[in-house]
Amino acid sequence: MDIVKTRLAISSSGQYKGMVDCFAKTIRREGALAVYKGLGPALVGIVPAVGIDMAIYNHLKDEYRARRIQECAQQQGEQNLTHAFLSRKSCDLVYPSVDPCLHTPSSRDT
């Protein structure tokens, strides 16, 4: 398609009626492979750029996932501590004379 675009840009007025006309005339005059002229240089410029973009994207995605997993683990740890604290306090309210960790009377009773 680059060849059609280029020919439309540099053609004299009235040479082609439009994109489809240019495409049809190019194939009729030069064959189907003429549409692929200039593909090599275009790919030489595009492939490295896309490769770099993909490498940067994958690196940033992996970094984000690693940090997100770390944050989730930290939040889970904080939630576990909160649950343990609340569990301990609720046991203290229900059984004030028993230490729930040791299952023995606490030192407050003696």
Which pTM value belongs to this model?
A: 0.44
Q: How many CB atoms lie within 10 A of CB 88?
A: 12
Give the mean model confidence (pLDDT) for residues 1-10. Answer: 84
Give residue 108's pLDDT. Answer: 53
Q: How far apart are CA 13 and CA 64, in angstroms?
A: 53
Give the mean model confidence (pLDDT) for residues 21-50. Answer: 87
Q: What are the tens digits of pLDDT across the range 51-98?
A: 999 999 999 999 998 888 888 777 777 777 777 777 777 766 666 655
Map residue 98 onto helix, strand or coil: strand
Give residue 44's pLDDT. Answer: 86
Is a pLDDT exceeding 90 seen at residue 5? Answer: no
Would you call 79 exposed, middle or buried from its count of C-beta atoms within 10 A (0-12, 13-18, 19+)?
exposed
Please give the share of the chain, as a percent, with pLDDT higher than 70: 79
